[in-house]
């Protein structure tokens, strides 16, 4: 069977996943599995793998789906954006402006552009660069890890949330195993996701599965202290943040939950522990693969905002520095223990 091309005429929306990495390949694969016309705009090395082996989608709930190469489209040429009715942007935050330039150069003005990225500023970058486009912020709560060979594994749960707008975009993008909701107020949800994502760096430094990290009292206390520091900064800046998966749960009580004794924590936070035993953060994967992390869009934002408001952030600053050092070394996770982190944070406080 010959390889499909994204120029074929189809009677339903054409979706281009712009900058498809782990999240983009999983989301795009799920949409293709749901009979959508999907094109993955990828780097040449990944395009070769997907053309040869297709996509394999797995998750902690038992999903195990193989998509043959002829079930979705692939391209390394941004000209594929010209056919898109919906563009899902999944590049790292540092590449958002470049992707916006490509969209402006190739996409039709009536295309809907959705940011499915970490951080709180990417939607604004896209909106500023793409006047006239319907641009929407979004939030992906689950964790995806590339297992190699075109296999992408979802290790945690949750539904995608996007900014509300004209039409029925959330309904269009919702397929079996992938649900999308629309919300009027996305900024508080994005800040809440950023606070939760602060643990990405700790998990990368620990080099252990997320579930094991959550079951470690030592790591939970560091998580709680880091989160408390960040919440103080947001409160000083009068920035609202809500839990991305449970808006009724005040985010300010999360540090208290994390500090509970393990037996009580396991009972109270059962939903936090329903994750794949081997799931790790995307930042851990970045360190292992020698890629640039998004530390500047996570801890870096808290440190900078704290500096503006005159609030010291030694824990977030220490974590950011350690991640940058690990990036520079290119040797993967340093596999720190909680006592190592405590010692390094004390040094950071003394030098602050």
Domain architecture of the chain: domains with CATH: 14-184 (3.40.50.720), 188-351 (1.10.1040.10)
Average pLDDT value for residue range 174-184: 96
Backbone angles phi, psi at 109, to 5 degrees: -60, -25
Compute CA distances 213 → 14, 20, 256, 276, whole Å.
40, 28, 17, 12
pLDDT digits (tens, 9 = 90+) for 255-294: 999 999 998 998 887 766 668 888 899 999 999 999 999 9
- CB atoms inside a 10 Å sphere around CB 259: 15
d(CA 157, CA 276): 9
Question: Is residue 82 within 8 Å of 107, Cβ to Cβ?
Answer: yes
Burial of 53 (0-12, 13-18, 19+ CB in 10 A): middle
Q: In terms of Cα–Cα distance, which of 329, 271, 320, 276 is closest to 298? A: 320
Going by C-beta distance under 8 Å and a sequence separation of 6 or more, which residues neighbour residue 53? 69, 149, 150
Average pLDDT value for residue range 100-105: 98
Q: In terms of Cα–Cα distance, which of 228, 237, 226 is closest to 306? A: 237
At 183, which helix (H) or strand (E)?
strand 180-183
Average pLDDT value for residue range 155-160: 91
What pLDDT is stored for residue 272 in this prediction?
60
pLDDT digits (tens, 9 = 90+) for 198-249: 999 999 999 999 999 999 999 999 999 999 999 999 999 999 999 887 767 8
Question: Is residue 85 within 8 Å of 14, Cβ to Cβ?
Answer: yes
What pLDDT is stored for residue 39 in this prediction?
98
Question: Is residue 211 within 8 Å of 273, Cβ to Cβ?
Answer: yes
d(CA 147, CA 54): 13
Question: Is residue 115 within 8 Å of 17, Cβ to Cβ?
Answer: no
- CB atoms inside a 10 Å sphere around CB 176: 9
What pLDDT is stored for residue 175 in this prediction?
97
pLDDT digits (tens, 9 = 90+) for 126-151: 999 999 999 999 999 999 989 999 99
d(CA 216, CA 89): 35
Three-class secondary structure of residue 64 per DSSP = strand
């Amino acid at each position: 069977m010959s390889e499909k091309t994204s120029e074929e005429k189809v009677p339903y929306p054409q979706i281009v996943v712009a900058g498809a990495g782990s999240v983009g390949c999983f989301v795009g694969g799920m949409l293709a599995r749901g009979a959508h016309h999907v094109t993955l705009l990828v780097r040449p090395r990944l395009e070769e793998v997907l053309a040869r082996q297709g996509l394999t989608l797995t998750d902690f709930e038992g999903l195990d789906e193989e998509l043959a190469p002829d079930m979705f489209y692939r391209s390394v040429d941004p000209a594929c954006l010209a056919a898109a009715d919906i563009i899902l942007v999944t590049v790292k935050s540092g590449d958002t402006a470049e992707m916006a330039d490509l969209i402006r150069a190739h996409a039709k003005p009536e295309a809907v552009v959705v940011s499915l990225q970490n951080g709180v500023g990417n939607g604004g970058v896209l909106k500023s660069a793409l006047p006239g486009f319907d641009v929407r912020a979004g939030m992906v709560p689950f964790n995806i890890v590339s297992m190699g060979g075109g296999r992408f594994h979802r290790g945690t749960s949750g539904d995608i949330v996007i900014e509300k707008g004209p039409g029925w975009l959330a309904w269009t993008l919702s397929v079996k195993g992938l649900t999308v909701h629309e919300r009027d107020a996305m900024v508080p949800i994005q800040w809440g996701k950023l606070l939760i994502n602060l643990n990405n760096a700790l998990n990368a430094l620990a080099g252990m599965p997320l579930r094991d990290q959550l079951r470690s009292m030592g790591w939970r206390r560091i998580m709680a202290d880091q989160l408390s520091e960040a919440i103080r900064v947001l409160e000083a800046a009068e920035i609202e943040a809500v839990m991305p998966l449970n808006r009724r749960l005040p985010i300010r009580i999360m540090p208290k939950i994390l500090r509970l004794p393990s037996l009580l924590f396991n009972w109270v936070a059962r939903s936090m522990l329903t994750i794949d035993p081997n799931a790790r953060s995307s930042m851990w994967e970045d360190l292992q693969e020698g890629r640039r992390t998004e530390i500047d869009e996570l801890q870096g934002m808290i440190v900078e905002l704290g500096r503006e408001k005159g609030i010291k952030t030694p824990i977030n600053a220490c974590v950011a520095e350690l991640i940058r050092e690990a990036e520079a070394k290119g040797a993967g996770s340093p596999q720190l223990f909680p006592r190592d982190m405590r010692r390094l944070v004390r040094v950071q406080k003394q030098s602050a």
